[in-house]
Amino acid sequence: MMDPNTPSFMLPPQASTLAPSYDLLYLSITYLCIFCFVLIMGAMTYFVYKYRYRGGEHKAVEITHNTTLEIAWSVIPLFVVIGLFVWGFRLYLDMAIAPRDAMEVRVTGQKWVWNFEYDNGATSSKEFAVPIGKPVKLVMTSRDVLHSFYVPSFRNKMDVVPNRYTTLWFQATQLGDQQVFCAEYCGLDHSGMLAQVHVLSEPAFEKWVKDHSEDKNAAPHERGKKIFNGKGGCMACHAVKSEAEQPQPVIGPRLYQAFGRTEKFQDGTTGVVTENYIRESIEMPNAKTVAGFAAGAMPTFKGVLNDQEIGDLIAYIKTLK
Ligand code: CUA
């Protein structure tokens, strides 16, 4: 057995209950393939050498059949592949069917951020927490294009599809952080569509969820900041501080001191950043594109964020000075 915390030569660390079973099947198939490869290539090389042309006349001996041999090379591989199928199918069922008592977390993928929502209303973005030793079921959907939720050390990967739900479950076995990747090419910043899973002890997890719960009584700009870094996922593309303080990301215009600024657009026109301009940019991002940025890079948030939330975001953007 490999040490679950360290990656092996071929595989990342094993940080979920099912990871060792997947690895055993994977490595068994791999080594079986290597064994067959060596056997077949070895026999072939041997025969090529043994029956090479040596000059003179060598008459071939005609062999019509060998019943024992033919049955053996048909039946043995048949049982091997049936065995592999049953093994793989049982593991597939373990992977596909979450335990009944699994805790649910809703996951939304969008260009280019992962958002998470808990039963008590807690939300987070680019990171989420799970308790160690408890089954967790992710119910996932996408707001725009195909994404894929991939946690190598859990051995979990599932497509995240617009207009439908897909699920994935795991039970973490190691405290600490695990990396989430997007494993489906989804555009400009696909490679930056990352998240962290914090695997925490039960008390630490409870505290984390509490800290991430919505506070309805917060000031509008504080709610806006939460939406910016959470549900809206705006921080994936827009920096909020000066270039010196926060060089990245620069996929969208920097929002530091944006309010009241005069923007230059791709078509040569200019416009002042007002409440109405920000609202238009959120709901119809393609109406105006700031010069130097890719047109169509931002998805619309019409129907995603309500009037209240857009207002909160505007309040937050006004504070960035
Ligand atoms: Cu989302 Cu790649």
* CB-CB neighbours of 248 under 10 Å: 8
3-state DSSP percent of the chain in helix, strand and coil, to 5: 35, 20, 45
Ligand 1 atom at minimal distance to the Cα of residue 185: 2
Sheet holding 156-160, edge to edge: 127-131, 195-200, 176-182, 147-151, 156-160
Looking at residue 229, its pLDDT comes to 86
Expressed in angstroms and rounded, the spacing between residue 87 Cα and the centre of ligand 1 is 31
Ligand 1 atom at minimal distance to the Cα of residue 146: 1
Ligand 1 atom at minimal distance to the Cα of residue 186: 2
Expressed in angstroms and rounded, the spacing between residue 236 Cα and the centre of ligand 1 is 12
SS3 103: strand
Looking at residue 306, its pLDDT comes to 80
Looking at residue 4, its pLDDT comes to 58
Expressed in angstroms and rounded, the spacing between residue 89 Cα and the centre of ligand 1 is 28
Pocket residues for ligand 1 (CB within 6 Å)? 109, 112, 147, 182, 184-186, 190, 193
Looking at residue 147, its pLDDT comes to 96
Q: How far apart are CA 172 and CA 16, in angstroms?
A: 4
Closest CA to ligand 1's atom 1: 147
Looking at residue 56, its pLDDT comes to 78
Please state whether the predicted TM-score (pTM) of the whole model is above 0.75.
no
> With left for phi above 0 and alpha for psi between -120 and 50, is residue 176 left, alpha or beta?
left
Looking at residue 3, its pLDDT comes to 56
Task: State which residues of the chain have pLDDT below 50.
Answer: 1-2
Expressed in angstroms and rounded, the spacing between residue 114 Cα and the centre of ligand 1 is 9
Looking at residue 260, its pLDDT comes to 87
Looking at residue 93, its pLDDT comes to 93
Ligand 1 atom at minimal distance to the Cα of residue 182: 2
